Structure 1
Amino acid sequence: MKTLVTGASGHLGANLVRRLLEDGHNVRVLLRQGSNNTAVDNLQVERSYGDLRDFDSTLAAVEGCDRIYHCAAKVSTLDGDAHFHQEIYDSNVLGTIHLLRAALNAKVTKVVVTGSFSAVGHHPSHPSDETIPFYPFGKHLPYEVSKAFMEQECLKAYADGLDVVIAVSCAILGPNDFKPSRMGKTLIDFAHGKIPAYVGGGFDFVAAKDIVAGHILAMEKGRGGQKYIFSSQFLTIDEIMAIFEEVTGVAKPKLCLPSKVMAGVAGIADFIYPRFFPKAPRRFTSGAVRILQMHRHADTNKAQIELGYQPTSVKQAIYEAYQDFVRRGLIVKADKERGTGNREQVMGNS
């Protein structure tokens, strides 16, 4: 029995592949030529090269597989232009359509598709669960809309006879973050003292091992045509900064910018960066600030009751992420023991 994992070079995919290999599964990964695929270096996996936007290469990757974990997606908090919108749609919606159609053609037994908490409806007075619909007329990012459309494609495939389950992920924290992710970059910058201030707000976070466990539970026990939300804990950004301080030994920034101020700054950056610095990395966008200010809480009761999901510790996930970055040389650890103020680079296997 062979299992296909898409998005294996991403944060979720890298952790999922390692768990599947530990559990003795025969794993094939779909990779794109020319992409950063270091996440699967030295792993005993079968590599299939292609692009989900191309149906033929997707079908070739699916052939001979019994199960599929579809983790691939283009994640972004940018609004972007028409070209960017098309890129998001092609990657997240069209790619999913191709994957599901190929799974139906190949008579795959079951597919678990990674959903996003951003595509779950928001209720201001209580945590969001799977029953709250996504409101289509609000101010949404292209990524959020694409993930909502992706869920509709899953339901269509289920109606056509495919056993497909949606595993909804919140913001992931943990090791094996090779690209790295937005939160991974934030931890790296924090450890190097490069975050002078932060913005208030909060979100639901999920430990990497928890979202991996959630995907496996969805595969083993999830009901077809259903979605399950997986989160470990809601944390404010102030609480995240405090954990970063405890884990890294670096003092958190003293300045917490008011949300209205940060929203204004991000709005100006949204105008300037695409025009003058299109390739420059950005920590905060208007979309990211808006999401943090919503204080969205996740309700994981359905996953806990139906699947036996048991969330673990976000603090432990951050510690594991930090240690992994140190081992791989992405974080230069302060040498406090000798009191010299120098820094030592701790290298290790990736």
Structure 2
Amino acid sequence: MKIFVTGASGFVGAAVVKDLVDAGHRVIGLARSAAAAGTLSALGAEAHAGSLEDRDSLRSGIASADAVVHTAFNHDFSRFRENCEADRDLIAFYGEELNGSDRPIIVTSAIGILPNGETVTEATMPATGEAAHLRAATEAAARQIADEGVNVMVVRLSPSVHGAEDHAFVPTLIRTARQTGVSAYIGEGGNTWPAVHRLDAARLYRLALENGQPGAVYHAVGEEGIPFRDIATAIGEGCGLPVVSKTPNEASDHFGWFTHFAGMNLRASSARTGEALGWSPDRPGLITDMALESYFGSMNIQDR
């Protein structure tokens, strides 16, 4: 299969590209820079010059492919609402380009948009109306193009997608611990985060392309729920810093913009995904991964 991938040189996207190439697929990755093109070439993929904002480049990339994988998302949280709406518009655009064919597209969503405080499954729907998470715009757009006849599937990523070169949530917490001198959790730290290794997640995208069903939602979840206190403890050990509890009132001063994520309380199942696709995550868990030097070495965190 010839597959067009957005976000192809990113942390998740590059792993998806490598898995697809290793499985014998031909991959074309969207590249907005020479550096991105070089990354794709090293992975055995072709670079397609363009950007998410350049609809002509997207149109030609989509037209050349048998399938599309959309992993790109702007994670500038100072413009989060704008970025979520931009993703909604992009998915609508993909729908226009793919309508009338059976070519599949996989859209990337997040477990974190689902209701907190319960075990969520692939069948759990994001809240709507005023309670809706901003990132739920992605899934709303995917459902819309599915209703229009597009062969779209959704992969929901865990809050922590971990592994070498991780530069997302856990490195953010490590940076905060180093800046404040303590590794913290909120209250008793019993709130939980689902997690998945990036290579397990990458394999899930491929299996969905090869064997997935139109309209399906899949969960990239390797561990259903890791207590946040355990994550904070691993960070404290890795940084050589004390591990402390913060009250909810103190949390915003300590975590800043990340307070919402630090307090996230989710357990997520991937049982239906495993049964449907034969996907069984087998890479190291988050706490094991955090013992690697890639998380706490001198070249990590500081310059990201």
User: Shorter-chain TM-score: which interval?
Assistant: 0.7 to 0.9
* Residue equivalent to 1:112: 106
Cα displacement (A) at 1:186: 3.7
* Distance across 1 between alignment mates of 2:265 and 2:210: 32
* Distance across 2 between alignment mates of 1:182 and 1:39: 23
Counterpart AA for 1:298: A
* Distance across 2 between alignment mates of 1:229 and 1:4: 22
Does the C-alpha gap of structure 1 residues 330 and 293 become closer, same or farther in structure 2, counting only changes over 3 Å?
A: closer
Check the 8 A contact 2:4/2:68 in 1, yes or no.
yes
Cα displacement (A) at 1:36: 6.8
TM-score, normalised to structure 2, is: 0.82
Q: 2:222 aligned to 232, 237, 247, which one?
A: 232
Please tell me whether residue 303 in structure 1 is matched to residue 289 in structure 2. Answer: no
Cα displacement (A) at 1:252: 4.1
Does the C-alpha gap of structure 1 residues 174 and 232 become closer, same or farther in structure 2, counting only changes over 3 Å?
A: same
Counterpart AA for 2:66: D
SS at structure 2 position matched to 1:68: strand
Does the C-alpha gap of structure 1 residues 116 and 315 become closer, same or farther in structure 2, counting only changes over 3 Å?
A: same
The alignment covers a number of residue pairs equal to: 293
* Distance across 2 between alignment mates of 1:261 and 1:205: 26
Cα displacement (A) at 1:229: 1.6
SS at structure 2 position matched to 1:330: coil
1:300-332 residue CA offsets vs partner (Å, 9 max, x unmatched): 221122222223422344345x44885x94379
TM-score, normalised to structure 1, is: 0.72
Q: 1:255 aligned to 225, 244, 255, which one?
A: 244
Does the C-alpha gap of structure 1 residues 96 and 319 become closer, same or farther in structure 2, counting only changes over 3 Å?
A: farther
Q: 1:98 aligned to 93, 98, 107, which one?
A: 93
* Residue equivalent to 2:127: 135
Check the 8 A contact 2:218/2:270 in 1, yes or no.
yes
Larger Rg: 1
1:8-48 residue CA offsets vs partner (Å, 9 max, x unmatched): 23221121122222223221111224887775463332111
Check the 8 A contact 1:208/1:317 in 2, yes or no.
no
Q: 2:181 aligned to 175, 196, 199, which one?
A: 196
Does the C-alpha gap of structure 1 residues 160 and 184 become closer, same or farther in structure 2, counting only changes over 3 Å?
A: same
Counterpart AA for 2:125: P
Unpaired runs of 5+ residues, structure 1, are 267-282, 333-350
* Distance across 2 between alignment mates of 1:38 and 1:204: 33
After the TM superposition, which residues 275-290 of structure 1 pair with which residues of structure 2 at under 5 Å, given as runs? 284-285=256-257, 288-290=258-260
Check the 8 A contact 1:58/1:102 in 2, yes or no.
no
* Residue equivalent to 1:339: none
The percent identity for this pair of structures is: 19
